[in-house]
Structure 1
Amino acid sequence: MQVTQVPQPSPTPPTAPGAAFAPDSLVLNRKLPLWYQVSQSLRASILGRTADATLRLPTEEQLAAHYGVSVLTMRQALKELETEGLISRHRRRGTFIEPRARRVSPVRLMGSIDAIVAQQSGERTTLLEHGPSPVPGDVAEYFPGCPEVIGYRRLRCEEETGEPTNWAQNWVHPEAAAGIDPADLERWPMTKVLRDRAGVPIARITDTVEARLADPATAGLLRVPLLSPILYYTGVAYDESGRVVDVAQIRYRGDRFSFSVTVETH
């Protein structure tokens, strides 16, 4: 006897009226594709939302006005997020955040600060430790004349499973760290906290990604075998005066992340 399985429909999104999800603001960089910047900014807002945030997004027209782009550009940005599984679109009912969507995790480099914020958003983050430290030798070149920095160590895990995915060590200039509330680092990435909460004018970030083997600390935190492959990311953030305000060192599990670079030809 042949048994036919009928696929179960996806949960119907809420239809009751109410306040729509409010995404963060964005300063557009005209040298990068607008749809990409908008998609990454909205992605960061979605992944960094609070647990009680509404799942309904504003309309395409409202979002386009919020970001200062055309409806066509906004539609392309939403299509990118729909393809990734972060949102679902329903005719006559609207666009909704997918609460159980599993994020795709490439390490992308494309020259946008908001892309960096988006890359680091959306996971459960635990601040393991923080405090002043002598400048480590491997970052001393970035902090000339600075006797100490403020170190922050954080572990990021998947929201649903609790499985660790990466851990970050940030070395922050003391003047920039003065405006940081440590509690914010369990909700937002360091770049966003520095720029939007501490008021540090970040002008650029230089990124490097390389293959490494898991050292004992990384193997223990990420629950991977010692000497297993990892992606090692270094991000150096500069303020408008050219001073380094933050050096981020992030270890990503090699079995959960890939490396992706987008090059625009015109």
Structure 2
Amino acid sequence: MTSSFAPDSLVLNRKLPLWYQVSQSLRASILGRTPDASLRLPTEEQLAAHYGVSVLTMRQALKELEAEGLISRHRRRGTFIEPGARRGAPRRLLGSIDAVVAQQSGERTTVLGHGPEPVPGDLAEHFPDLAEVVTFRRLRRDGDSGEPTNWAQNAVRPDVAAQVDLADLERWPMTKVLRDAVGVKISRITDTVEARLADPQTAELLQVPLLSPILHYTGVTYDAAGRVIDVARIQYRGDRFSFSVTIDAD
């Protein structure tokens, strides 16, 4: 039995274009949908009411997703999710939490392991009050081909990590788990992306040659009190990841 498609809720940030925020939230919902979810989206009017925006804003958001190849729109028939939508398409990053969630969604995730360990030396500046963090290791695969795309290590404060459900980590990115399942009030995330060469562990997990180019992402997540609650280190296959950045001049 096919279930209806249900988009996630969204808290709008008035400093960012509304159409962009809506498109990224809907994108995350599309890529993170359950296998039995309907491919038919609600109407423009229903989606606009769900997100609390105008129909014109909703149309602009849908136009963005259509240009990316995630949906198709048919006069009199409605709007449908493309079954073979390409999940590795470039992401447009404007700085919202939902953009981070969308970037990490749409892949099959396996939890490789988790447990406490001493704070790594290169992360000591982020956890000056801690002797240990809880590290979660995950491998992500393309939802269609099953090919490894990236593997992630998240160093999380122990008090927060104790509330993380591993089943949630197999369905959602860590950012979404912390915000929506654990209830952390995230104030900001600082992202850094740099080119590196695959070490033996990364080469084995991602099925690439040793010392082949990869992209190394570091994301530092802060709560409302200014504490670092999570440091994500993600190794992406160089041939499976790209992104573009749009700078708003206003």
Q: Is the aligned partner of 1:109 residue 2:96? A: no
Partner in structure 1 of residue 185 of structure 2: 201
Pairwise mapping of residues 6-17 of structure 1 onto structure 2 (< 5 A)? Answer: none
Partner of 2:249: 265
* Alpha-carbon shift at residue 225 of structure 1 (Å): 0.9
2:124 partner SS: helix
What pairs with 1:94-243 in structure 2 (closer than 5 Å)?
Answer: 94-106=78-90, 108-243=92-227
CA shift in 2, pair 1:216/1:19, >3 Å: closer
Distance 1:19 1:155 in 2: 28
Secondary structure of the 1:146 match is: coil
Alignment pair present for 1:90 and 2:74: yes
- State the 1:249 CA deviation: 0.4
> Aligned residue for 1:14?
none
Give TM-score scaled by structure 2 length.
Answer: 0.96
- Greater Rg over alpha carbons, structure: 1
The Cα offsets for residues 25-72 of structure 1, whole Å up to 9 and x where unpaired, read as 000111111111110000001101111112111110111111111111
The answer (yes or no) to whether the contact 1:109–1:207 under 8 Å persists in 2 is no
TM-score, length-scaled by structure 1: 0.91
Letter in 1 for 2:93: L
Equivalent-residue separation in structure 1 for 2:201 and 2:246 (angstroms)? 32
Pairwise CA distance, 1:244 = 0.5
- Report the alpha carbon displacement of residue 154 of structure 1 after superposing the two structures with TM: 0.6
CA offsets 1:192-224 (integer angstroms, 9 cap, x no match): 000000111111100001111111111111111
Question: Could you say what the CA RMSD is over the residues aligned between the two structures, in angstroms?
Answer: 1.3
- Which secondary structure state, in structure 1, belongs to the residue aligned with residue 5 of structure 2? coil
**Structure 1 residues 49 and 35: alpha-carbon distance in aligned structure 2, compared to 1, 3 A threshold:** same
1:57 and 2:73 matched: no
How many residues are aligned here? 249
Q: Does residue 244 of structure 1 match 2:223? A: no
Q: Distance in 1 between the 2:25 and 2:91 partners?
A: 16
What's the offset of the Cα at 1:107? Answer: 5.4
Look up the match of 1:8: none
8 Å CA contact 1:84, 1:104 repeated in 2: no
Secondary structure in 2 matching 1:237: strand
The unaligned stretches of length 5 or more in structure 1 are 1-17
One-letter amino acid of the structure 1 residue matched with residue 148 of structure 2: P
Distance 2:159 2:3 in 1: 38
Given that 1:84 and 1:103 are in contact with CA atoms closer than 8 Å, whether structure 2 keeps it comes out as no
Gaps of 5+ in 2: none
% identical equivalent positions: 79
Task: Tell whether the 8 Å contact from 2:68 to 2:89 is kept in structure 1 after alignment.
Answer: no
Deviations 1:77-119 (A, max 9, x none): 1011111111111111111111221223335532110000000
Contact residue 64 and residue 71 of structure 1 kept, 8 A = yes
Preserved contact between residue 186 and residue 222 of structure 2 (Cα < 8 Å): yes
What is the match of residue 240 of structure 2?
256
Q: Which residue does the alignment assign to 2:23?
A: 39
Q: Tell me the distance in 2 between the aligned counterparts of 1:54 and 1:108.
A: 26
